[in-house]
Structure 1
Amino acid sequence: MTTSETTSALSLARITCPQDVSAALEHALTDCWAAVINGGGAVIPSDCPPVPVTAAGLAPATAHIVQGLAPQRRALLVATVVGSLAGWLVLTRQTHPLEAHCGVVNHVQTHPGFRKRGIGAALMRHAADTAREDMGLERLKLSVRDGLGLEDFYRKAGWTEVGRWPKALRVGPGDDRDEILMSLAL
């Protein structure tokens, strides 16, 4: 299932079925992801090849995300500008019964060529609306790496820092960062 919303040149869409992701879109997702990682972004999958990454190296991780799409459980939200992929994220419902009212936002990214245009903020608003209206969720959570100013971006979008795992993320030798836990009540 795909739904979309268009505002001027920016178009936002929600995709919940793997068959609704064309080969061209899957390739664009992977290219965006590689550009974000190579540009210093913190959206690195656990099985990521060494930086600099290639789209070919990230293709299996992108395919895994696409194959996991399911109505009411996992949605891919994409932002396009005049037909070009500008950013994307993944919204997933928690499966444990005690957390079924919550969702998790992952892989939030804006292509470097589209930064400073409000794409990320639009995606985050779309994620909140989708979670509340289409998935019936009451709360969202995400985690970010400190040292990049990401927590400020999310605070401006209404998110609250609820905790930290000190030095939980090893970016490189001698470069351990806090994992910042954030929440948004819907």
Structure 2
Amino acid sequence: MTAQQAPDFTQITRPRELSPELREQLVDCWARVINSGGAVIPPGLPLPPVDTGHTDPALGRLVGALDPRRTRILIATLGGALAGWLVLRRDPHPLVAHWGAVNHVMTHPDFRGRGIGRALMSRVRELARQEMGLEQLHIAVRSGLGLEEFYGRLGWHEIGRWPGSLRVAPDDDRDEILMYLAL
């Protein structure tokens, strides 16, 4: 990725900060990522194919939980277009308030192969440490997509697996891989 191609980043930390236009783009991106094989299917969403009627309520639940101290959406744009996004969460309970969880990491299919995922993960690392005071990040990824290798190249470490815990299709069970990053 060259300097001219570096994405711009925006954080959404409160529901009122999300414009209707950006919400529509996030909903569309989520449906397109799921339908292209992305591993970002939360509880309550069916397996592919999905449409924006499925992803809109799921995004509504995410947006409703936004709070600058606990949950935020990090958005990457390239040339003004939505290129990718993710969610960063922390639990306020004192036993675990020092770490955060990264969820719903996605690159818009039109922007794959341009370093957007790497840029998002680099930026979330910075904001987790500098703005939220976190000391570590956790992520769970689906096996069979090369995600553990991608995150491994970015410094994440596999700490365990739930064997065969994700059924993506009949006779296609995948491991859920648990990963950790010290900040």
TM-score, length-normalised on structure 2?
Answer: 0.95
From 8, 26, 32, give the equivalent of 1:35: 32
Within the alignment, does 1:8 sit opposite 2:4 as a pair? yes
Tell me which amino acid in the other structure corresponds to 1:57.
Answer: H
How far does residue 107 in structure 1 lie from its aligned partner after superposition?
0.2
Within the alignment, does 1:132 sit opposite 2:129 as a pair? yes
* Separation (CA, whole Å) in 2 of partners of 1:60 and 1:42: 18
Paired residues, number:
180
Kindly provide the CA deviation profile for residues 2-31 of structure 1, in whole angstroms up to 9, marking residues without a partner as x: xxxxx6342111121111100111110010
The answer as to whether partners of 2:140 and 2:178 remain within 8 angstroms in 1 is yes
What is the RMSD of the two structures over their aligned residues, measured on CA atoms?
1.1
Within the alignment, does 1:180 sit opposite 2:173 as a pair? no
Within the alignment, does 1:73 sit opposite 2:76 as a pair? no
* Separation (CA, whole Å) in 2 of partners of 1:8 and 1:97: 42
* Separation (CA, whole Å) in 2 of partners of 1:49 and 1:140: 28
Which secondary structure does the structure 1 equivalent of 2:29 belong to?
helix
Q: Give the corresponding residue for 1:17.
A: 14
* Separation (CA, whole Å) in 2 of partners of 1:183 and 1:108: 15
Q: Give the corresponding residue for 1:3.
A: none
Mapping for residues 84-103 of structure 1, pairs under 5 Å? 84-103=81-100
Which secondary structure does the structure 1 equivalent of 2:54 belong to?
helix
Which secondary structure does the structure 2 equivalent of 1:162 belong to?
strand
Runs of 4+ in structure 1 deviating by more than 4 angstroms, as ranges, are none
The answer as to whether partners of 1:18 and 1:66 remain within 8 angstroms in 2 is yes
* Separation (CA, whole Å) in 2 of partners of 1:156 and 1:27: 32
Tell me which amino acid in the other structure corresponds to 1:121.
Answer: R
Q: Which runs of 5+ in 1 are unaligned?
A: 1-6
Percent of aligned positions that are identical: 56
Tell me which amino acid in the other structure corresponds to 2:108.
Answer: H
* Separation (CA, whole Å) in 2 of partners of 1:50 and 1:144: 16
How far does residue 50 in structure 1 lie from its aligned partner after superposition?
4.1
* Separation (CA, whole Å) in 1 of partners of 2:86 and 2:70: 14
* Separation (CA, whole Å) in 1 of partners of 2:38 and 2:125: 22
Q: Which runs of 5+ in 2 are unaligned?
A: none
The answer as to whether partners of 2:41 and 2:47 remain within 8 angstroms in 1 is no
* Separation (CA, whole Å) in 2 of partners of 1:101 and 1:181: 18
